Amino acid sequence: GAVVSQHPSWVICKSGTSVKIECRSLDFQATTMFWYRQFPKQSLMLMATSNEGSKATYEQGVEKDKFLINHASLTLSTLTVTSAHPEDSSFYICSARDPGALGVPTQYFGPGTRLTVL
Amino acid sequence: ELKVEQNPLFLSMQEGKNYTIYCNYSTTSDRLYWYRQDPGKSLESLFVLLSNGAVKQEGRLMASLDTKARLSTLHITAAVHDLSATYFCAGHMDSNYQLIWGAGTKLIIKP
């Protein structure tokens, strides 16, 4: 299957600082990427849909000024958590939508980034 | 609005046993996905089910889709410890490419 990478895999930062997380589709072009967060023992919560060349679409309750998303190319989307606070500590997972050779799209997931804010 | 419910949420079972995880969804979903997640890891795609009556098998896992009943099942045959993980089903909204997730089923298989 297709490969999606995320960087970094784990980051610990101080409260008030900003953290950037990268999501790359390695062997396909993704016009659409998704950013999720997952708290322990819970399901995934969609934060935003990232569209190449346009503004991201944020889910209700997600602050767009706090979680900045940039999808500058067909293989890269970035999520910047600005002025991070301990409550932002979570597991952040990106996925990239592969349109599929036979028209059956599949979302492939990155390995996730564990963010710990002290 | 599409909603997805999984049942059960937690399952502990012995090796060698069979069991089925159920995934009900509320409105039309043009496809149904099953994913596996190991602790501390991201998600691994298992199956994509596209049409009514679709059945897919990989090893000891078999997934099926009944669009009339709005039900997908993930059947585990002769479970082994390596299958211990959390399994998620997800419906798909073609209008915005979003996946709508079930709550997940945490499966523990004891030797």
- pLDDT, tens digit, 9 for 90 and up, residues A65-84: 999 999 889 899 999 999 99
The H-or-E segment that residue B21 falls in is strand B19-25
Give me the residue from B31, B97, B101 closest to A43, CB to CB: B101
Q: What distance in Å separates residue B16's CA from the closest CA in chain A?
A: 26
Instruction: Give yes or no for A105 touching B (CB within 8 A).
Output: yes
Contacts of A23 (CB under 8 A, 6+ apart): A4, A5, A6, A33, A35, A76, A77, A78, A79, A94, A96, A110
Interface size A-B, in CB pairs within 8 Å, comes to: 47
Instruction: Give yes or no for A49 touching B (CB within 8 A).
Output: yes
Q: For A107, which residue in chain B has the nearest alpha carbon?
A: B45
Higher pLDDT, B76 or B97: B76
Q: Do A43 and B96 touch (CB under 8 A)?
A: no
Average pLDDT over chain A reads 90
Cβ atoms of A79 and A88 closer than 8 Å = no
Least confident of A29-38, A95-104, B24-33: A95-104
* Predicted local distance difference test score (pLDDT) of residue A67: 96
